[in-house]
Structure 1
């Protein structure tokens, strides 16, 4: 006589379905930096890495795509920060230079112009 108290334990099967991993390629940001903030060609280099990210994603190499995307992101941050700092510095230098030129011309007109 077999007792039902000693039945085999129920087994379960777990299937891990890997969802689509989203890897941002930063192409739009890189294109913006290439066109507007391309000091030291960092925007262009970031754009190159963004295109490489897209290529790796199409090939199915998510690890390579994540590596290229990380590099593109870092380059974009540096391009944006450096571009903003250099642009602000350039605006300050041009505006102060214009003021110095204006003051010099005013002094020359006062000194030589009042015949």
Structure 2
């Protein structure tokens, strides 16, 4: 159907009043939310650190702040949620560092003991009377 044969109704009112194609005096606003990101709560990481049971219960402290961050985010208090989120993140970093440090130290001591015992070809002087003094004399 072309425009020449189409008849407009008599109650036709134009949507625009000028050449720009916009209504005069009206504007459309689209609310996109805030530009700041919502803080993370690190809940899964905190649960893993809590279950590993680490030094000074750092994982448990991280879990407490993670839950507080989630609660504050739910209530809409983003400033408090961000503060709790930062605390949870740093407690998780400390707990994860401790979780990695202890097994690495145990492994290093085990390797040193095995290397010391191999250097004495079959004898086990490490377990004798002079064992500890001889072992530590290598590091002086």
Q: Which bracket does the TM-score occupy, shorter chain normalised?
A: 0.5 to 0.7
Structure 2, gaps ≥5 residues long: 1-23, 126-140
Q: Which residue of 2 aligns with 1:34?
A: 50
Q: Which residue of 2 aligns with 1:62?
A: 78
Q: 1:1-115, aligned counterparts within 5 Å?
A: 17-19=32-34, 21-36=37-52, 38-97=54-113, 106-107=123-124
Structure 1, gaps ≥5 residues long: 1-9, 109-115
Cα distance in 2 for partners of 1:79, 1:107 equals: 37
Shift of 1:99: 6.2
Q: Tell me the C-alpha RMSD between the 2 structures.
A: 3.2
Q: With CA pairs under 8 Å and 6+ residues apart, which has the higher RCO, 1 or 2?
A: 1
Cα distance in 1 for partners of 2:60, 2:116 equals: 36
TM value normalised by structure 2: 0.55
Shift of 1:101: 7.1
Cα distance in 1 for partners of 2:96, 2:53 equals: 6
The answer on whether the counterparts of 1:37 and 1:84 sit within 8 Å (CA) in structure 2 is no
Cα distance in 2 for partners of 1:27, 1:106 equals: 52
**Structure having the larger proportion of residues in helix:** 1
- Tell which structure's C-alpha radius of gyration is larger: 2
